[in-house]
Structure 1
């Protein structure tokens, strides 16, 4: 076997493994680089594979950006060699695509590590090589270069300010670059990005002979408009001055028509999407006028032949029928001649013989089953039907119809049983028209079952019929179907509208029903009780409490999927569904207390005969999970958090410590203090916990110290005095020690 072919087979196996699971990319790339990398003396086929693999690898979304960034630094030398040494257009295209995916990763690495000059020099060399190819490369390579330019403009243009609370969603842009960065000066990058954007916009205003290049450039502008509002005005102003029908002054060849239609549709799609994303944008009026003007221009260019008066259709015999009365010419008899069809053979007649009018023709022996693809048959059949003369087609249809009528009269009709009485006054129906199912059923209504059934069937007794039993479900199948039912229930719950104040007419209080109607609150109550009470109280109370292992084994697996779906349903729109969260946690708290009371009741023992321990409930776990999910998205003005903390049934130090964690954000200090103040004023059992968290916040958070001190002066001033006394004693002891050292 050829060594190159064997190597390609091994490389393809590694590629298939990585495509199946993106976690293998960081392991496969170091093993592949010695074969396809720089100084490997690889053949052209292996280099083509290597360039395609790198472009596919760094564009794959199946592995994280951190792993991509570390692997991107190891392939820069290989990409530089591909662009400098290899002259194959396929290798160059894939190398440019890989460079477009790698450039933001290297850019972010250089921002965090200003001392890594080697890799940045490799990236600058790759960038210069790609920019030199923009004007002279083949069309396929130029399209890839346009993609690279788009990435450079994206990362070297200021974006939205990064949110430190969401590091995974930080956009790589010029906003991350410090002003005094030694390798990538801020002003130089911004100026280069502006020049490259002008270069992109110059493509659409230049030569339109290459429609793929122009449409590729228009497609890249959509992402720049969406993600970089700084350059939106510049791009839209250039596009609104763009003429997609620039080739209308050239000869209207079929190629030019296709080019103009393609560019015009791409431009219209770009502007329509801009209007959809920002319905109140300042450019929407100009865009609407531009689209109307372009529509009129398109009609003038492409529909000119349709708006002209068509040439008169000349008759085939040289005289028009409308003029014969004035000319006095005799009108020929244009009646269609009947088609003489050969007679059918004696005996049974097949469908092929019925529809064959010319047995000696070549089409009589043609088998249409040779066409396996129906689309191929349609491509042949439609043009053939369009080319048939309408008069000849009508004559052929009449000939086949006459054959069918003759055969229908020749075939004897089935006799009706004697018990059926035929009404002579029914509407006349020709013998050749077959009866439909409704007519046949109406005629059989009057026939008794004894008349139709044979004697041996009527005399035989009927055996009892029993449906076969369904096979028993396995544990995995039962769990799977249960989860499907839960997802369908929550899908129905999402389709129900949010309840309004006027719609809430149900009676509240302890005497209310849990589910009196089929609104959202009823379904939430049912689902939350399924989650909390599905496995509670199912054991025999006379047997005693089981061991912890037996309880876990016997517990239903339906509760956790319902809890997960409840969590996702609340987090999806937590501001409007905070009442759902409170109801759910109330059910969890109630169920935990009921189970705890059963455990500590008289005579309750576990399976080993010992006194039971305190059961570990689900309330605290669910409350902390839900609170962590809400705090991630909450803003400083969202006072709905005060309602949530104040209405959940159980509070402890773990729940209130989340307020201290939230106060680390300067924008949410006031909200955290407001929650603790509300609990102190309107929830007396939680006063000590709230003050303890406030004292801890005053000691550990310098930004929240002033706000916490105002409340501690009223609620626990001794905590402030103790802290100040400890600080005074510490200063005094340190000063005394310094004097002793000096005296020594």
Structure 2
């Protein structure tokens, strides 16, 4: 039966965890089930205590709702603490009491007639305080949390009238004449419980969890109760976190000491970080340094003295063994003399008489990285003294070869058949000290500049790079474009340009701000490949960004990158869109003019010159407008700027506004844009009126807005409704004219 009950309550618990608003409904229904009774199972009691602790600690449950529900659980908590001895139930009950105490406290402050609940809370508090010295360690840690809440509630807070904290429950909320809560008694009890909390850190340190739990609770008290901060810090400064160092240093005591020391250091460091200008920070720093020195003396004492070896090392004298800090110097290895005749670099650097390492061919390693993984650890393991001896030996060999070469007189070139007298140097093995003394006695004047050992160096030529495939070219091109747009994204958009000279004579990219990068990328997309496209490919469609072979060209890749960059934040980057489209239009005009000048008999390579004038501008403009229009709201006046500043507008561009007008909220925006273009872009007036006429015919919802404009510019479209309008006058060609007379627009027509 209990398992089924718990399963049903778990479903309600899961519902409340998802939304805290269900707690006020679930708790009244659960309390009769989890309330204490003699025949109730311990599993239900554990579940009930855990559920209440979880509920009143939940951040999703509003504080006002918690305060209204807190008094209803006091009877259940009192029954748990007085009748149940299970540690799990008691721990959860104490945690619930720690969460409920500030809520009942505030409830009693505002309800002076409700003394019953305050008496229940006082009985719960007395029961918890009696457990502080006798309960199990886990229960005592929960009691420390309860004591922290009681001290926070029953001590006065510093209230800032400019920024009052309404969620801070303190003694300041209690009136001096409150009938149920005497102000003086609460304040005295709060300070007494604070002293009791501080006595824990000065007591027995055998229970490290209890001490660290107390230290962790002091941080909130120092932060939220500045009046008690000096008292708490004074107690911490007199606290010795290494108190157990005088006892036998067992592994358990070492862990406890380290835990307490780290918790104390974290507490004080957080105090300094929270208020860097606190005058007590200097004293905290001194305390931390003293604690660090003491810790080093306690834990590093065994590492300072090295124990003597238990047996002789390398046959050393027993009387001197403990005073030797290093192994005895090894004897200098004998260095073999150089062979007579010409000496190669290999022979110069070979000190091993056997020559086993000299015959090793490093070319066997095809991968240089593999060779580095072997050489670096080997060099790190070489004895420094032996390496210095070997270097001195090679240096002495080289100096002797130079002296021998300088002492021989230069002779004219002799036939190859004549044999020269062989030179046999008189070389005796010497130890390291003799080598160093001899080298120090030699000066730079004794060594004339002569070439080193003769060796024939084979000519070296870098291997030619393999040819790149189409996939590699595509890959590296995409990498370059991606890196360029990475530079553009890293530039601050609000950065001002350093160019002071404006107008058409300014430089396009004189600094490295956003405008410079936009200009560079726009011209890279338009002018870099200008005239290189194959005319046999024909005219590209509206959204074509792929080449004929399926690979993305560099220019089209840059165009696609600019489009993605604009669409990422199109409202702030509408100037980038306008600049890009101006570059596209200018490039198309230049190419069309060039094709027109080079055309013969009206065709170029078999194509009419009219086919070559429609370039990338029209395609990019349509793609950009179709990308922006779905996100335009009825309040976005930025559409007017975009349509007014792009260099060319045709019917295919403006017909998008008719599509946008199908949204009832954006009808006025579409009509305002058309009205603006009619007024300030005269070349597109005919297209604008055609679009309005189509909106009148096809869109019933747009008729009121379109009628206001058509009645001026093309009243014949209105048909029968024209009779309801004032008399209009039109010119002979049917177009409207507007005259400004007394600030009003008049429509005139020829008779």
TM-score by length of 1: 0.50
**Structure with bigger gyration radius:** 2
